[in-house]
A and B are shown apart, each in its own frame.
Chain A
Amino acid sequence: MFQKKNNLGEIETIVGPSVNLKGNLKSEGNIKLKGKVSGEVKTKGDVFVDEEAEVKALISARSIKVAGTVTGDLVAQEQVEITNTGKVTGNISSQSLIVQAGALFIGKSTMEEIHTKGKIEDESIEPEPEIE
């Protein structure tokens, strides 16, 4: 996931810089957010929140990578990654979570692991005020 490609490589939706989006953005493919977004972002693909992006939205996707600022919950079927420039204020639900040194995360993280014999019980982590 998130391989570095030129502009539109494998990305179906791009909210570019200097664009202000409001409402429910629903997609089948990958989404890249570089501008301001408020509302809800939902896709079967991956979401990448770029360094310059300011997002106030619930994001649901296969995997989510945050390098910008997100205020809202993140729900990923697979992985959530917050890079060293990323700031997340909200709850995270995912199978795995990566928080890089320098990232900011204020909220609760719930991690689910799916085994071949079925789901195991949710493993919850108590709210962590800040990870930097």
Chain B
Amino acid sequence: MYYYIVNPAAGGGRINKIQDKLKSLLKEKKIDGELVKSIGKNDAYKIAKLAVKRGFTNIVAVGGNSTVSEVVNALIDAPNSVLGIIPIGTNNTLAKVLGISDWEKGVYILAQRRIRTIDLGKVNDSFFITSLEIGFETEILKDRQNISPLKKLTFKKDVLAKIFSFKPFEATIKFDGKFSIDSKIFNFSVFNTRFLKNKEEFFLNDGKLTSLLVPHQATLSLLKNFSKIASFSYETLPFISCFRAKNIHIDTGKIPQRVFADAEYVGTTPVEVSVSSKKLKVIVSKDRKFD
């Protein structure tokens, strides 16, 4: 039996336009079930917890990054549960990694039930599937939570303005308790993936995290690499550092920095990031970005 948790605010209320079509498609594919709407922040988390208690094993997040993130965190201690995603949010990063490009495709993928077990990253007490960000990118993410179509058009202009206003920060980062780095940082990312030959390769079950550090640069150098920064393709920058580890401790001293995981705010530094011993079963597409 499937249990659908719908975020009615996702994608600017997109569910209102597709609701009838979605319901009939789910019925047609014989995967219809209970459909519940969340009301506010953390509601999807609470609803998913209750659904597990009631014995549902197929929990489907119908929304964007924030809805999926809440449901992921609710399923951590439910090893028999399987996560499904129907992306209708403004930002659907997680769905894209799993190969789910739109809501209709999401329904077909659910019906096919191709299940994979993946590693999860852990930051303090929260879990994430794809990445964690500290620094410049959080400046962009904090404004992207309720991004309007008009804002999307001015996105590059906003990024440019933030390059000029962003203040880099000093940090000490320890890896697996074995070595540490000190640096003045522009952006620091932790990926539940790795990078090969200049492109992101998703190995969501190799037991390690990849850190990418973009150090403080002169504004001219940042502007020269503007297109890479605006597309968050840090791995293509010439001045990055890259480390692989299971545990990462990030301390920014007296100036705490915002931390986002799976594009959602999770707290401030200092933080402990690790590969969780808990894994997650997810329904994926054959077009997913990992094995």
Contact = CB atoms under 8 A, between A and B. Distances in A.
B178 A9 contact: no
B55 interface: no
Given A16-B239, A16-B240, A16-B241, A8 B198 contact: yes
B197 interface: yes
A14 B241 contact: yes
B268 interface: no
A8 B215 contact: no
Interface in A1-41: 5-27, 29, 35, 39
Given A19-B215, A23-B178, A11 B242 contact: yes
B242 A12 contact: yes
Contact of B237 (A7, A15, A23): A7
A11 B243 CA distance: 10
Nearest to A24: B178
A10 B183 CA distance: 24
Given A6-B198, A7-B235, A24-B179, A18 B184 contact: yes
B220 interface: no
B243 A20 contact: no
Contact of B241 (A23, A24, A35): A35
B180 interface: yes
B213 A23 contact: no
A36 to B, nearest CB: 9
A30 to B, nearest CB: 11
Nearest to A27: B244
B115 to A, nearest CB: 29
Contacts, number: 75
A93 B82 CA distance: 53
A83 to B, nearest CB: 20
Nearest to A17: B239
Q: Which of B184, B197, B242 has the most CB of A within 10 A?
A: B242
A18 B179 contact: no
A9 B242 CA distance: 12
Nearest to A9: B197
Contacts of A23: 178-180
Nearest to B182: A20
B181 A15 contact: yes
A100 to B, nearest CB: 24
Given A14-B242, A17-B215, A8 B180 contact: no
B149 interface: no
B238 A7 contact: yes
Contacts of A5: 197-198
A5 B236 CA distance: 11
B279 interface: no
Interface string B25-56: 00000000000000000000000000000000
Contacts of A18: 183-184, 215-216, 239
B238 A25 contact: no
A8 B242 contact: yes
B195 interface: yes
Interface in B117-169: none
Contact of A19 (B178, B181, B197, B244): B181
Contacts of B195: 8
10 contacts: A5-B198, A7-B240, A8-B198, A12-B194, A13-B242, A13-B243, A19-B215, A19-B241, A21-B181, A35-B241
A-B interface, 9 closest residue pairs, ranked by CB to CB distance from nearest: A23-B179, A16-B241, A14-B242, A18-B215, A20-B182, A6-B198, A8-B195, A19-B183, A24-B178
Interface of A: 5-27, 29, 35, 39
